[in-house]
Amino acid sequence: MRLYDPKEIEEKWQKVWEDENLFHVGEDAGKQKYYLLEMFPYPSGRIHMGHVRNYSIGDVIARYKRMKGYNVLHPMGWDAFGMPAENAAIQHGTQPAVWTYDNIAYMKTQLKRLGFGYDWARELATCDVEYYGWEQWVFLKMYEKGLVYRKNAPVNYCKLCSTVLANEQVEDGRCWRCGEEVVQNELTQWFFAITKYADELYEYANKLPGWPERVLNMQKNWIGKSHGVEVDFPLERGGLLRIFTTRPDTLYGVTFMVLAPEHELATELAHATPYEKEVLSFVQKARSQDRSFRLELSGSKEGVFTGAYAINPLTNQRVPIYVSNFVLAEYGTGAIMSVPAHDQRDFEFAKAYGLPIVVTIMPEVGAEDKVIDAASMEAAYEGDGIMVNSGPFNGRQNREAIPEIIAYLEGRGIGKGRVNYRLRDWGISRQRYWGAPIPIIYCESCGVVPVPYKDLPVKLPLDLQIKMVGKSPLSDYPAFYRVNCPTCGREARRETDTMDTFVESSWYFLRYACPGYDQAPLDRKRVDYWMPVDQYIGGIEHAVLHLLYSRFFNRVMHELGFVSVKEPFANLLTQGMVIKDGAKMSKSKGNVVDPDYLIQRYGADTARLFCLFASPPEKDLDWNDKGVEGCYRFLQRVWRLVIERVDTLKETLPTIEQDSASVENKEMSRLVHMMHKTIKKVTEDAERFHLNTAIASIMELVNAIYKFVEVERNDGELRLLKGVIEHLIVILSPFCPHITEELWQAVGNKGYVIDHPWPAYNEAYVQEERVTVAVQVNGKLRDTCEVERDLDETALKQVVLSLEKVKKHLENREIRKVIVIPNKLVNIVCDTN
């Protein structure tokens, strides 16, 4: 008998698929399209098991949908710009482009070795000039529409990466990529006006039923939509201080104001006063502090008095103005009213600096044991209740009074109701080399001048030496930055910052639809055929970064007339991590499993099967070497099941009886029932991404077939056997495509199993065959029950012991044993009393 040799089989079929261009796809108006996409990888040098798992999930669904008759687009590319390439270039004395393209070549070989069915004709790398050149074109269009602007602003800065980070790229006060602590700097930056789409991005999050609720909540929380009121507090020395609050019901309790260190009035109010030196020192210190430290409720709330006062417009009381580290410039107006009786941060600050506390909300009768007394408060009362010390609103329920308070403020011209957002515009300037150049020129005479469209692309020079310095190396490369102004012709300077690499990943899914198109960034006709992406697969860590940016960028492309749909991804699956020894696989922890080793030892089909079988896709996968061995043994069983009788099967015409009355015997009947149940289970599970349970049901079918072939079979039974085995091969093929292609042809079929239609199941066979079982206690009939035929003994005992009549007869009796005659009788032997 021919032995199972994964390497030989897999390399054979991978070559056939490539030679036949089997996964190339084009637009077909006569077919329903299905666009399946996994988040593309960064070409770091080697794929890891997280890639294997992610892309195996996607490949199963792509193959399944193709067999269901869909026109399936399943592309792959490379998120190729970024810091690691620069770091590697410095470490190894090479160029980022060389390092990147070498890695792409190797990783592409690895992906092909796993048998993933990608349309490689659509491959792209974001560092290709053909790609980022069109991105520059879009940048200019956004600039014309007012969606790109430049300003001086406080920014998050990573010293190790020597570049600016967007707020979304700071995680617990550290750089999302290298983990270095982030500090605050002030730089002139380019911004995308994502806030113009804040409301639409927020509201459309409620129109994405195919997305995990967790991801939608993370995006909505980040956008941070809140309803409130802007209130103008007169400054004692002239002018106004505007604040935004969602709690106008506490305005009568304002006893001090707080400015963010970045607020324009933070130093201006203290100018030429005895407080100026102390304020300037504090502002400088606070601006350098990490954002997450400043936001942390339990962190130190430091502040300094500016020497200035505002007037509470409702009480006419003087309230001192402080600068504190717990207020951020990007929230509201960068200034807050402080109500220490009803906000814990304000309470702690007031206690620390000896500021007054005025209670304006009392718990309703019965809600608390006693009335709140400001002098004895140990914490802020942040609950709802009845308004007190609140002028005409005394005695009102605080939440019910809010609309009237806003109307009162608007009527007196001191406030206006509005909606506020936590989201801030996306800073895209990066002081690094390996990224898309920003197509802007600076001229002393003409100012900021966009690069003319005819001069695009602005190409990244590939011959400069990379250094680890705190600015873009392009700024030290005259051949790049020296340029004549396109408007006046005088000597000018090119922008040396590059774009945030998240810009490239915000539209690549659109370019896959029309690779090679050279008239515009996108071909509207082809894009509209494929978009939106029907199923997107990637990690939860991209919920607020890539996914939010992609939704924004897709809207920009919609407004530019390149795509009809506003939302890019109809459905989203966030797969879990791969865990080993209790931690996420990583080189630093020394717990990685090399995919190359796994493929060499067990084969790609085993690697795929284990990643799909060991855990539901959305859950973390706990690595288990024995589980890998078990999957390998299963495929060997499938191989032997077919190859041991291949000569007979090859000469046998397959048949599947569709009428149970015509099936020749009960064993055949059970096998047919099992086959149809398995097809139904795998079909339903594939639609729901329950791939682990789909595989489990296939394993059960294999067991049933082995049981069927334990005895020699006649011609009719052999025809049925071949029919069942062919169906087994077809439904296993999306998971393990190499072994199934080999077995498909081994049993005498022509063509490819990937081109075979997905089998239908007969509902008549899917219904469980049930039998009536007699239930005895000490030999006397006490009840009967209907159960599934061939139910295992453990399950049958559980059913019987749950029957009310049986429980009554067993009351206060000890069961000695349970005798089971399958499908007929259960006799419970117990004590007599």
Q: Assess contact for 47 and 595: CB atoms under 8 A.
A: yes
What's the confidence (pLDDT) of residue 586?
78
Give SS3 for 429: strand
Q: Which residues contact 319 (CB under 8 A, 6 or more apart)?
A: 233, 254, 255, 256, 257, 309, 310, 311, 312
- For the residues 241-257, what does the mean pLDDT come to? 97
The span from the CA of 267 to the CA of 279, in Å, is 7
Quick one: CA dihedral 201, 204, 210, 212, positive or negative?
A: positive
The span from the CA of 432 to the CA of 90, in Å, is 13
CA-closest candidate to residue 462, choices 128, 96, 125: 96
Q: What is the pLDDT of residues 713-745, one digit of tens each?
A: 888 889 999 999 999 999 999 999 999 999 999
Residue 396 φ/ψ, nearest 5 degrees: -85, 150
Instruction: For residue 18, give both structure tokens.
Output: 């490539």
Q: How far apart are the first and last CA of the chain?
A: 63
Which residues in the chain are classed under CATH 1.10.730.10?
Answer: 624-765
For the chain, give the percent of residues with pLDDT over 90: 72
What's the confidence (pLDDT) of residue 425?
94
Q: Assess contact for 326 and 299: CB atoms under 8 A.
A: yes
CATH of 135-222+425-501, one of 1.10.1040.10, 3.40.50.620, 3.30.499.10, 1.10.10.10: 3.40.50.620
For the chain, give the mean pLDDT: 91
**Which has the higher per-residue pLDDT, 584 or 215?**
215
Return the C-alpha torsion angle 722, 727, 733, 739, nearest 10. Answer: -10
Q: Assess contact for 73 and 530: CB atoms under 8 A.
A: yes
Per-residue confidence band for 626, with pLDDT thresholds at 50, 70 and 90: very high
Instruction: Supply the CATH classification number for the domain 226-420.
Output: 3.90.740.10
Place of tokens 């005992």: 797
Q: Assess contact for 473 and 466: CB atoms under 8 A.
A: yes
Where does 505-624 have alpha helices with state H?
508-511, 524-530, 546-559, 595-602, 604-613
Q: Assess contact for 572 and 212: CB atoms under 8 A.
A: yes
Instruction: For residue 365, give both structure tokens.
Output: 């009768």
Which residues in the chain are classed under CATH 3.90.740.10?
Answer: 226-420
Residues comprising the chain, all counted: 833
- For the residues 604-617, what does the mean pLDDT come to? 96
pLDDT at 491 > cutoff 70: yes
DSSP 376-388: G-SS---S--EE-
150-187 as b/e: b if 16+ CB within 10 A:
eeebbbbbbebbbbbbbbbbbeebbbbbeeeebbbeee
**Which has the higher per-residue pLDDT, 301 or 141?**
141
Q: Which residues contact 222 (CB under 8 A, 6 or more apart)?
A: 168, 422, 423, 544, 548
pLDDT at 114 > cutoff 70: yes
Place of tokens 């914490």: 379
Q: Assess contact for 778 and 832: CB atoms under 8 A.
A: yes
Q: What is the pLDDT of residues 377-400, one digit of tens each?
A: 999 999 999 999 999 999 999 999
- For the residues 645-653, what does the mean pLDDT come to? 91
- Least confidently predicted of 80-89, 549-558, 727-736: 80-89
- For the residues 576-591, what does the mean pLDDT come to? 83
Instruction: For residue 390, give both structure tokens.
Output: 């609140």
Per-residue confidence band for 659, with pLDDT thresholds at 50, 70 and 90: very low
Q: Assess contact for 49 and 595: CB atoms under 8 A.
A: yes
The span from the CA of 42 to the CA of 547, in Å, is 16
pLDDT at 711 > cutoff 50: yes
The span from the CA of 612 to the CA of 1, in Å, is 29
**Which has the higher per-residue pLDDT, 818 or 480?**
480
- Please list the residues that pair with 362 across neighbouring strands: 386
Our measurement of the distance from residue 504's CA atom to the centroid of its chain's CA atoms, rounded to an integer in Å, reads 17
Q: What is the pLDDT of residues 775-812, one digit of tens each?
A: 998 888 888 888 877 777 877 888 888 888 888 888 88
Cα angle value 249/254/260 (rounded, 5°): 110
Q: What is the pLDDT of residues 682-705, one digit of tens each?
A: 999 999 999 999 999 999 999 999
What's the confidence (pLDDT) of residue 658?
43
Instruction: Supply the CATH classification number for the domain 770-830.
Output: 3.10.20.590
Give SS3 for 426: strand
pLDDT at 455 > cutoff 90: yes
Per-residue confidence band for 662, with pLDDT thresholds at 50, 70 and 90: very low
What's the confidence (pLDDT) of residue 490?
97
Per-residue confidence band for 657, with pLDDT thresholds at 50, 70 and 90: low
Architecture of domain 624-765: Orthogonal Bundle (1.10)
pLDDT at 629 > cutoff 80: yes
- The H or E element containing residue 109 is helix 96-113
What's the confidence (pLDDT) of residue 208?
96
**Which has the higher per-residue pLDDT, 446 or 784?**
446
Which residues in the chain are classed under CATH 3.40.50.620?
Answer: 135-222+425-501
What's the confidence (pLDDT) of residue 769?
66
pLDDT at 213 > cutoff 70: yes
- Least confidently predicted of 126-130, 636-640, 743-747, 766-770: 766-770
Which residues in the chain are classed under CATH 3.10.20.590?
Answer: 770-830
Three-state SS annotation for 198-218: HHHHHHHHHHCCECCHHHHHH
Q: What is the pTM of this model?
A: 0.86
The span from the CA of 816 to the CA of 303, in Å, is 77
The span from the CA of 23 to the CA of 448, in Å, is 47
For the chain, give the percent of residues with pLDDT over 70: 95
What does the radius of gyration of the chain's CA atoms come to, in whole angstroms?
A: 34
